[in-house]
Structure 1
Amino acid sequence: MASTPDLSNSQAEHDNPDINRNYDGSTQTIPGATMGRHTAFQLAGQHMITNLERLESINPSSGAMFWKAVLTALGDCADQVEIYTEAALKHGATEDEILAVINHASSFAGTPRAVNTMRRIAGTLASARQFERPRETVVRLRDHDTLIREYSPGAAGTPIILIHALSMDGRMFTEVAPSLTSAGRVITYDLRGHGYARGAPLTTSLDHLVDDLKQLVDILDIEKADVYGASYGGAVAQYFTLAHPSRVRSLCTMATSAQGHPLLATRATRAEEGHMQELVAEAIIRWFLPETIALNPWFVRYARANVEQVRVEEWAAAWRAMAALDCLHRIPEISVPILVLAGKQDASATPEHMKPIYQESPNGTYVELDPGTHMMVMEQPEAVANALLNFRKVVDEKC
């Protein structure tokens, strides 16, 4: 094992925390933000420093996030923690990503240090916040817990329920939901097998997910809602409207169709055969524009992480449920207003797949976004929010 330079503090270093020893043992006066590097070297040597500096040059936010974890573990580094928080935010890290780093660090640093870190950076996070933080509540359904996020929970009028895509969770509406609060209360929740509801008994069908949603609206005492779903969530929204028409005032299907395909079930089989890494890459390429993937913004990182961390059995169950989607022939039964929101660049639910819903609907509206991708909720949030608000306004006038 390579020898480690003597990094013990001299009296001068004790009196001036901005004096830091270099990795060769010499000293220089540098801002206290180097404390994370100092500690990382003590933990794992120059090899870690070299690799992390390389990471910083490629993705500055990732480097800043790592140093934050080190400082959380070290404790008593308030100024340095704030410096790295500001750096991470500057380079595109989200509040949720920063909180996740602290949560992970707490497992080896301990809860008190994690709490102290949170207290120190709370003001920095609040001042940088661009969107309203929702009220989060854990709700117990029949056989599992889920997490609901409520925006403007006390608002009057018909609530909007947003249902997320396969592999995502309610956080995919981070930039859309706050924009909808001008119309009233907005609710997201995590579907069985996703987000907070991971580990629930496996999904057996779309009807199974409808039963979950029915119990949720009963628990929340929601008599009638505007139900808007994206992709997998759009399939659930259609089935829910058909099963419980009296509980739905309007319906929106985003980036979804009304007819499944056997190809979708192969994604389940391939995952079970050990090809999950291939599926991660395919999903990201299918969901976003190439130039967006190259920029790697928060929602691409979020989507990729969700797929990488998925349990294969939950992924497979969800895709088999989606493959069995079959309600196009029943769309004429839906009398409430329907918005069919398609994306011109959507490689999964193409406009050709979505137009039949509008064509079969007795009260439908078709809107096609350009640009508009499969994950338009995240990639084109402003356009999506505007389309939903315009639709909601029309529904309010009709009802």
Structure 2
Amino acid sequence: MPTKQSIVDQKVTELAQLTPQLSRAMANTGKELNSNAIIGDRNWALNTLALLIGMGDMDDQLQVYVKAATDSGATDNEIQDVLNLASIYTGNPRAVNAARAIAPYLKQESDRLRPNVKEELINVGDHETMVWDNHAAGFPIILIHCLALDHRTWREVYPELAKTGARVIAYDIRGHGWARNAPVTKDLDQLAQDLHQLLVQLDIKQADIYGASYGGAVAQAFATAYPEATRSLALIATGLKGFPVLAQRAVAAEKDGMAAQVAESLIRWFTPETIARNPWEVRYGRECVLHISVANWAAAWRAMAAGDATETAGALKMPVLALGGQQDASAIPPIMQQLAAAYPNSKLVSLDPGTHMMPMEQPQAVAEQLTKFYQTVEQNNFQKD
């Protein structure tokens, strides 16, 4: 009769034949796995966290691997994604227990990044949008994100603006994020109407409107349609008008699909060094491009391509900050200069370094400029160039 040890030896031999790497890794107490793995420390920690949740391990190991994941650059959003997937594959009870165990970390990150923020879905007519709203007593700031992304674009800028005491609101544009199932975008005027409806729902009569790239195009359309509701404009890495090349990006996706748009988008958005490091903003941007539908991507690019504030900008008298970047490959410095020159009460600021995704790649510098702008408008001390 075979002994227990002989059975173990037989299983080890079978394992070695089936997967030599795992056999060596186990024999070397994990040293082979750790030194030869190609998935990277962050993914390794997140995968381990998922396995522990699946096994129902609610002890110290969960805390260990949450820390390992965050030490390797994982964000609270990515850890939340693991919990969300766990609820599907391991059942809600284990996911809920894991969420309770991880709750101190999630609350710490929430308090740091979204102080006193209520995350809620708001109905704006024909769809719902996700909103971050800190419900502060100060004058409202509305943050409008870039094309293909969502309200999380402002992840690192939001807490800095909240320090001003402003009521800071970030939301998802139609066709993006939680608003991805909305009827397809027609034009910038429709997006301006969506924002107006959001302000009505939030009982906000007037706000400072800050938009980046596509969000800047929406902000200009909103200010044109609702000047009385716009105390000031901050236009980040955006243009005064659209160009035919923008519509070509819609055609490219319709022809080749979204995966083919990833590399060009990242190269246009970030520096090569940042792409190589693959921090959260690059990972987030990559996945957003992959997950947006071709229809929503194409509609957004066509809406921005058709936008043109050339004739209307001169009539808008509110303070305008044109915030550009020296390394921006899209809203290049001459485009930002043209934008600033079109508004009669504007100031041009150019960041160096400054890229197209400045709110994510240079968040501290962006937050500093937006905070300064907000304070000068609050104090009625804004001075144009």
Which of these residues, 260, 263, 277, is aligned with residue 295 of structure 1?
A: 277
What is the aligned partner in structure 2 of residue 81 from structure 1? Answer: 62
Corresponding letter in the other structure for 1:149: W
Superposed displacement of residue 124, structure 1: 3.2
Among residues 168, 173, 178, which one is paired with 1:196 in the alignment?
178
Matches within 5 A, 1:73-112: 73-112=54-93
Alignment of 1:285-364 (within 5 A): 285-364=267-346
Aligned residue-pair number: 364
- Contact 1:339–1:367 (CA<8 Å) still a contact in 2? yes
The yes-or-no answer on 1:244 pairing with 2:190 is no
2:142 match: 161
Aligned-pair distance for 1:372? 0.3
State how far apart, in whole Å, the 2-side matches of 1:389 and 1:128 are. 22
Aligned counterparts of 1:318 and 1:238: Cα–Cα separation in 2: 15
- In structure 1, the residue matched to 2:119 is 136
The question of whether the paired residues in 2 share the 8 Å contact of 1:56 and 1:62 is answered with no
Is 78-87 or 233-242 further displaced after alignment? Answer: 78-87
Confirm or deny that 1:397 pairs with 2:379.
Answer: yes
Q: 2:28 corresponds to which residue?
A: none
User: Structure 1's 108 and 363: CA in aligned 2 closer, same or farther, altered over 3 A?
Assistant: same
Shift of 1:330: 1.5
Question: Which blocks of at least 5 consecutive residues in structure 2 are unaligned?
Answer: 26-31
Is the 1:56–1:64 contact (alpha carbons within 8 Å) kept by the matching residues of 2?
Answer: no
| Aligned CA distance change for structure 1 residues 166 and 54 (closer, same or farther; 3 Å) | farther
Alpha-carbon distance, 1:276 to partner = 2.5
Tell me, yes or no, if the aligned pair for 2:113 and 2:158 is still in contact at 8 Å.
Answer: no
SS at match of 2:232: strand
- Which residue matches 2:29? none
1:357 Cα deviation from its structure 2 partner? 1.8
Aligned partners of 1:23 and 1:46 also within 8 Å: no
Question: Could you list the per-position Cα deviations for residues 297-347 of structure 1 after superposition, in whole angstroms to 9, with x for gaps in the alignment?
Answer: 111111111001111111111111111111122110110000000010000
Mapped partners of 2:256, 2:173: distance in 1: 24
* Equivalent position of 2:198 in the other structure: 216
**Distance (whole Å) between structure 1 residues aligned to residue 313 and residue 366 of structure 2:** 23
Listed one character per residue, the Cα deviations across residues 118-163 of structure 1 (whole Å, up to 9, x for unaligned) are 1111123445664235310110111111110013x1x223100000
Q: Which amino acid is the alignment partner of residue 106 of structure 1? A: S
C-alpha displacement of 1:396: 1.2
1:287–1:373 CA contact under 8 A, matched in 2 = yes
Cα distance in 1 between the residues matched to 2:21 and 2:222: 55
Letter in 2 for 1:363: N
Specify the code of the residue in structure 2 equivalent to 1:310: I
Q: Which one of the candidate residues 222, 240, 248 is aligned to 1:266?
A: 248
Map of 1:382 onto structure 2: 364
Say if 1:128 and 1:333 are closer, same or farther in 2 by CA, change over 3 A.
Answer: closer
Deviations 1:355-384 (A, max 9, x none): 112112110000000000000000001100
Instruction: State how far apart, in whole Å, the 2-side matches of 1:124 and 1:160 are.
Output: 28
Structure 1 residues 259 and 70: alpha-carbon distance in aligned structure 2, compared to 1, 3 A threshold:
same
Unaligned segments of structure 1, at least 5 residues = 1-5, 8-20, 27-40
Query: For each residue in 1:265-308, what CA deviation from the matched residue of structure 2 results, as whole angstroms up to 9, or x when unmatched?
Result: 11111111124222111000110011111111111111111001
**Preserved CA contact (<8 Å) 1:55 1:63:** no
Change in CA separation of 1:71 and 1:23 when aligned onto 2, cut-off 3 Å: farther
Structure 1 pair 22/351, CA: closer, same or farther in 2 (3 Å)? farther
Give % identity.
47
Q: What secondary structure sits across from 1:92 in the alignment?
A: coil
Q: Is the partner of 1:374 in helix, strand or coil? A: coil
Taking a change above 3 Å as real, the CA distance of residues 219 and 54 of structure 1, as seen in their structure-2 partners, is farther
SS of residue in 1 equivalent to 2:379? helix
Determine if contact 2:54/2:94 at 8 Å carries over to the other structure.
Answer: yes
Structure 2 CA distance for aligned equivalents of residues 323 and 23 of structure 1: 66
- Residues 143 and 211 in structure 2, CA contact (< 8 A), matched pair in contact too: yes
Map of 1:12 onto structure 2: none
Contact 2:58 2:101 in 1 (8 A): no
Distance 1:391 1:25 in 2: 66
For 2:130, the equivalent position in structure 1 comes to: 147
What TM-score do you get using the length of structure 1 for normalisation?
0.86
Distance 1:46 1:159 in 2: 60
Distance 1:288 1:161 in 2: 24
- In 2, Cα distance between equivalents of 1:189 and 1:22: 59
8 Å CA contact retained: 2:257, 2:294? no
Q: Distance in 1 between matches of 2:36 and 2:273?
A: 21
After superposition, the C-alpha distances for 1:210-232 in whole angstroms (9 at most, x for unaligned) are 11001000010001100000000
Q: TM-score of the superposition, structure 2-length normalised?
A: 0.89
The answer as to whether partners of 2:144 and 2:170 remain within 8 angstroms in 1 is yes
CA drift of 1:393 comes to 1.4
